[in-house]
Amino acid sequence: MLIRTPKDWETSAAVTTESHYHARPRREFLRTLGVGLAGAALLRPGSLFAATAGFPPKPNPLYPASALKPTAEEYVTGYNNFYEFGTDKEDPKVQANKGWKTDPWTIELKGLVNHPAKFDVNELIKKIGGIEERIYRFRCVEAWSMVIPWDGFALAKLVALADPKPEAKYLKFTSFQDPKSAIGQREGNLDYPYVEGLRIDEAMNELAFLATGIFGKPLPNQNGSPIRLVTPWKYGFKNIKSIVTVEFTATQPKNTWNIMAANEYGFYANVNPKVDHPRWSQASERIIGGGFLSGRQDTLMFNGYEKQVAALYQGLDLKKNY
Ligand SMILES: Nc1nc2c(c(=O)[nH]1)N[C@H]1C(S)=C(S)[C@@H](COP(=O)(O)O)O[C@H]1N2
Ligand SMILES: [Mo]
């Protein structure tokens, strides 16, 4: 039996049991029976033709399902920010499922790397060696939060695959451009395509993750199918969805919300209860699905992941670099 000390960021007042979501018992059932990848995909109705459906996530003992209580799945998949599919929280679930195709999907690695490449997402997952589960807190800049069980792989693995040249200091992520499918792009509610960036040392931090699924299933379209960024110590807008290119650059890339309103949204986007948004406080947050009694909580520095990431920002003025 494996005995381990929980990581600091796994502890929470909200502890749950193994049965917090439906996919887990099914996966354990499949494992017990020794059903292979093809069988698992066949037994998962509705996801047979979805990208990444053939890869049941492996539980990662370092990120146990019991540490944080996930938000109910209906909120995670029904209360979304994905401006390509509308500006209301309820829009993406409807608008991203009107024929927008995310399978097949190609993701390109380019720029200052020794191994530029284009991968089909499923090929990429195979090359990376499969996917794992991680449950992270998620904090939107609009002062609400969720807990989301992600499936995917460490972004550091993608960086290793690209093999950056010494001059590469940043990653620039670009989302898809397809106005025919995306009503928000037709309306022009933001400058598109949506772009985001990370410093390369941030991208290689143990927490930085590329998600290909939630709740043990391939990502629903509205959550950024088939592959999206997850940086749990940063505000939600950093977590760019439906990525088509990852470019390694020498200079700091632009990011969409900073382009739209630089005084409100910075490059760093680190969760910081002491630095208010110009139009609202960041000291506390609304817990989505938390109900009336436990509906708010204090926001934590770096969203509770201080031990893992604080060293990245030593000597940086976080009031200026918001
Ligand atoms: N391409 C793209 N990515 C995006 C966004 C967007 O509008 N377009 N919104 C961001 C914001 S503000 C948040 S809070 C998260 C929401 O992710 P979720 O809907 O899966 O919770 O996605 C981020 N990634
Ligand atoms: Mo957000």
Q: Measured between alpha carbons, how far is 318 from 313 in angstroms, rounded to an integer?
A: 8
Residue 13 has pLDDT above 60, yes or no: no
The pLDDT score that the predictor gives to residue 78 is 98
List the one residue out of 131, 133, 3 whose CA is nearest residue 65.
133
Q: Measured between alpha carbons, how far is 279 from 175 in angstroms, rounded to an integer?
A: 27
- Collect residues with CB below 5 Å from ion ligand 2: 81, 140-141, 236-237
Atom 16 (ligand 1) nearest CA: 81
The pLDDT score that the predictor gives to residue 60 is 77
Angle at 206 between CA 308 and CA 203, to 5 degrees: 105
Distance 185 CA to ligand 2 centre (A): 18
CATH number at 12-313: 3.90.420.10
Output the six-digit token pair for 109.
């690695």
* Model pLDDT for residues 102-128, shown as the tens digit of each residue: 999 999 999 999 999 999 999 999 999
Q: Measured between alpha carbons, how far is 182 from 74 in angstroms, rounded to an integer?
A: 22
* Model pLDDT for residues 254-268, shown as the tens digit of each residue: 999 999 999 999 999
Residue 157 has pLDDT above 50, yes or no: yes
Q: How would you label 60-82 residue by residue, b for 16+ Cβ within 10 Å and e otherwise?
A: eeebbbebbbbbebebbbbbbbb
- Taking a C-beta distance cutoff of 8 angstroms, is the pair 86, 95 a contact? yes
For residue 56, the SS3 value is: coil
Q: Is the Cα torsion angle 214, 217, 222, 225 positive or negative in sign?
A: positive
Beta-carbon contacts of residue 291 (< 8 Å; ≥ 6 apart)? none
* Residues near ligand 1 (Cβ within 6 A): 80-84, 140, 175, 194, 223-224, 236-237, 239-242
Q: What is the mean pLDDT of the chain?
A: 86
Q: Measured between alpha carbons, how far is 50 from 103 in angstroms, rounded to an integer?
A: 6
The pLDDT score that the predictor gives to residue 51 is 57
Which atom of ligand 1 is closest in space to residue 92's alpha carbon? 19
Output the six-digit token pair for 137.
């807190």
Average pLDDT over residues 181-185: 98
Residue 243 has pLDDT above 90, yes or no: yes
Q: Burial of 117 by CB count in 10 Å (0-12 exposed, 13-18 middle, 19+ buried)?
A: middle
Asked whether the bond before 232 is cis by omega within 30 degrees of 0, the reply is: no
- Taking a C-beta distance cutoff of 8 angstroms, is the pair 202, 137 a contact? no
Atom 6 (ligand 1) nearest CA: 82
Average pLDDT over residues 201-221: 97
Residue 12 has pLDDT above 90, yes or no: no
Q: Measured between alpha carbons, how far is 226 from 241 in angstroms, rounded to an integer?
A: 8
Residue 90 has pLDDT above 80, yes or no: yes
Residue 226 has pLDDT above 80, yes or no: yes
Question: Ligand 1 pocket check: which of 89, 140, 174, 241 to mutate, most ligand atoms within 8 Å of Cβ?
Answer: 241
Residue 40 has pLDDT above 60, yes or no: no
Distance 81 CA to ligand 1 centre (A): 4
Output the six-digit token pair for 321.
């670099």
Q: Measured between alpha carbons, how far is 244 from 280 in angstroms, rounded to an integer?
A: 33
